[in-house]
Amino acid sequence: MATGWAKDGAVQEQIDSTVEDAVSRARSRLATGPGLSECEECGEPIPEARRRAMPGARRCLVCQNAHDEDAAFTGYNRRGSKDSQLR
């Protein structure tokens, strides 16, 4: 049951739309094209199985994992300190 001016199911529609947008953004960042047969960072051969599983792969698995870990670090403490929460 919706309250106020919102129609029934409006919250779920908003959630679905947010998820669809996130999936679209993630898919748009995936590599496309033929990819490489050798890693662009270390020069080691990229295994055929990886190239089939990830079309457009440009790094070997070791270098890709290192790249992903570097990209995931933001250096920002999202939880904040207890002191900053009390102010």
Instruction: Judge if pTM exceeds 0.85.
Output: no
pLDDT in the model for residue 18: 93
CA dist., res. 41 & res. 61, Å (int): 11
Domain ranges of the chain: 30-72
CA angle 32, 25, 46 (to 5 degrees): 30
pLDDT in the model for residue 33: 79
Q: 7: which DSSP letter?
A: P
CA dist., res. 24 & res. 33, Å (int): 18
CB-based contact 38:58 (threshold 8 Å): no
CA angle 23, 29, 31 (to 5 degrees): 125
pLDDT in the model for residue 74: 57
**pLDDT one digit per residue (tens) for the chain, 87 residues:** 555 677 888 889 999 999 999 999 988 887 777 889 999 999 999 999 999 888 889 999 999 999 888 776 655 555 555 555 555
